[in-house]
Structure formats: structure tokens, C-alpha cells
A = this chain, B = another copy of it.
Amino acid sequence: MADMLRGALIIGQSGGPTAVINASAYGVIRTALDSDCITTVYGANYGIKGVLDDRLFIMDKEDRAELDKLMYTPSSALGSCRYKMKDPDEDETDYRRILEIFKKYDVRYFCYNGGNDSMDTCNKISKYMKKAGYECRIMGVPKTIDNDLYGTDHCPGYGSAAKYIATSIMEVARDTVVYDTGVVTIIECMGRHAGWLTAAAALANIHVRSCDLIYLPEMDFSMEQFIADVKRVYEQNGNCIAAVSEGLHYADGTFVSEAKTSATDGFGHAQLGGLAVRLANTVKSELGVKTRGIELSLLQRCAAHCASGTDINEAFMAGKAAVEAMLKGETDKMVGFECERKDGVYSCSTKLFELSDVANYENKVPLSWINDEGNDVTEEFVKYALPLINGETPMVKKDGLPDFASLKRVLA
């Protein structure tokens, strides 16, 4: 029999948004609203900052019909943050404040929906609450288009971004061959250290070859090899499409796009971008051919209209499983996926991972899934990723446009 802990729940969203992060949040919210143990469901505005600032939305006051739309509403409906919590051994201020808010609202359940850094936040809060002797169950719900969380087969958000990337490359490929004069098109995908998103370009090749070359940040980049690759493909096909990761770097670690901007995000990551145009210009001057650089930019992480039905359902499932696990007494864990791909049949179930194992570890594309030339991925990757992009969004349209959720956001 589960340990019946009565109290409120807070759900927070953190890090860069995805097309399905709200589906996970809804999995948490819906399950919590339906639970007898959970007295009130709060949504923290701007992630953990909403807890620190005492800005909590009462989810019980939202209309069910509007909450239902979270299944296909992209981006973080509650607001997100990139707030790095200090180590509690160095500075307890934030943790004391969180405990104060938890006590104020009798919060006994806390779900944090985010990536690596969020799992670290979760883990630190969990340890502090234990030390403070405050009974509270804490669960991480993964999200990241980067797909770089440890342990889980994949991360909610990745499938939808991968579907958008593959679909867009298939479409761009059709567009770039219309003239009898060739063009080299460079398509830049997100991914600082992990190449999962860029690897998704390979999915564009499963029906008809659409993407010729794929470069991931798991390998050191060589401009000479890149130019030689493009030259070979262009001479052979009269056209060339290459997918490149924003995080491409030379052997010495320098980002290929570096010196573009010196701005950094809250965690000290360099803000990358402009790589596609940079590579397109280099190809143009080296090979004297027409080029075009396309940066998929934010579009790849918010394109809910092209989200994967599988991804949406799994994202909801992860949120639901998080609450169910907490109600059963689990804490200090992250919900992840365990999947089987056998004879073309894909199955996915949730599994709990230790937060301490997950936090701050980046899961990259296995080197064995990258070809010897470092300019494509293998069939293993395609087998892995293809089931994740299957199925369509249940998005409802109004006047031909998405009818996104519009929450009341009633503050506690």
C-alpha cells in the first residue's frame, strides 16, 4: 500500500522549451488534479524562479478544455528559466527560501520538467529537503530536444524536433533541385555537444535521398575534409545538401562558428549561430558554386504543427508516471523511457532513474553510429530514431491556425 502523503504539488518547467514540454506538464497536472492525495496543483512561473519569487499559478482554477490544449501547445506554458542553483554547501539562501514556500503552501510533491541542469536542480533540492527533515517527494520529468539525458532511451521533445528537421530537409531538398543549375545548401541544426538533432537529417533519406552529408559535434571538424566532401558530392550529383550541428568544432575545441558573438547564456555556454552562413560562404569562395545557408533556429524546437504523435503521447506519459511514482512513495528520481525495437515493432515504457546518475551527464551519439568518414550516421541511428517521429499531432486548428492553450494563470 502506497504511503498516503497529503499535500500540494508544484510543477515547474526549465531550460529551453520544446514542442511537447507542455504535454509533459499536462501529464503531471492532469494526474495530480485527479489524485485524492494532492490537495492543490500549482504551476511555478518561470521554473524554480517562480518558487523563489512566490509566483505560483493555481492549476485547479484552469478550465479543463483549455488545459487539454497543452497537448499540442509548444513552449513552456508556465514560463521557464535558466537559473543555476548554487551548491547548498556554499550558499543555502535559495534552498531555505524554497523550503519556506513549500511549507507556506504545504507542498509535498515537486515535479521539475527540464534537461540536464534541471535534473541537477531537482537533485540538490531533494537532498536539502531530506537534510532539513521536510517530507517532500521530488521527481524529474525529462525534456530536451537535444536528447542528451543519461539513462533514458530518449527524451521527450527530441522526436518532434527530429520530425521537423527531417520533414524540412525533405522539402528543402525538393526545392533545391528545381533548377538545372546546382546549389550547395547548408542546414544548421541545434546541438552544442550532442549531435542527435543533426543526425535526424538522416531520416530525410529513408524514402528518397535528401541529405548528402551530416556532420556531428561528436567528431572533430575538418574544413578541408568538409570542402572535399561537398566538392565530391556536387561534382557527382550537381547538387549538395549538408546538415551541420551548431556545435561543430575543430580538433582544438574551437567552435567553427566562433567569434560570431561573445554573448553567453545563463550557464556560461557560448551562444552559437551563424554557422550555416559561414560554411556556405566558405564553400562559395572555395568551390565557386552557388550556396545557401539555412539555420533552423527556434523553428526546430517550437514547431508544434509538425510534432510527433509518439513524442506527444510519451511526453504526457512521462508526466503522468512522475506523479504516479511519487504517490507510490518514490522520490529523488527522474522518469525515463525504456524502449524495444524488435522486427520493426517499437514499444516504450517508463522507468525511474536516480537523479544523481542523470544530473550533469551529457549523453552523446555513440561514435559507432557515425560512419568512418565522419560525414553521415549509420543504419543503427535510423533504427533508433525512426519510431520516435511517428504519428501526428492532435492539434486543433481555428481559422487554419493552431488553437493554442491560453491559461488564466491565477496567482496563489
Contacts and interface: CB of A to CB of B under 8 A. Distances in A.
Contact of A80 (B178, B390, B397): B178
A207 B404 contact: yes
Contact of A401 (B166, B174, B303): B166
Interface string A254-267: 00000000010000
Contact of A46 (B13, B170, B179): B179
A360 interface: no
Interface string A276-303: 0100000000000010101101110111
A82 B404 CA distance: 40
B401 A167 contact: yes
B302 A305 contact: no
A306 B308 contact: no
A274 interface: yes
B74 A175 contact: yes
A305 B171 contact: yes
Nearest to A76: B178
B206 A399 contact: yes
Interface residues of A, number: 65
A75 B206 CA distance: 19
A303 B302 CA distance: 15
A180 B401 contact: no
A80 B179 contact: yes
A201 B81 CA distance: 27
A402 B81 contact: no
A81 B292 CA distance: 18
A115 to B, nearest CB: 13
A404 B308 CA distance: 18
A142 to B, nearest CB: 17
A176 interface: yes
Contacts of A172: 298-299, 302
A107 interface: no
A171 B299 contact: yes
A406 interface: yes
Given A298-B292, A398-B207, A399-B206, A74 B404 contact: no
Given A75-B175, A207-B401, A305-B305, 10 more contacts: A75-B174, A163-B400, A168-B303, A170-B404, A175-B301, A207-B398, A263-B290, A277-B277, A292-B298, A389-B399
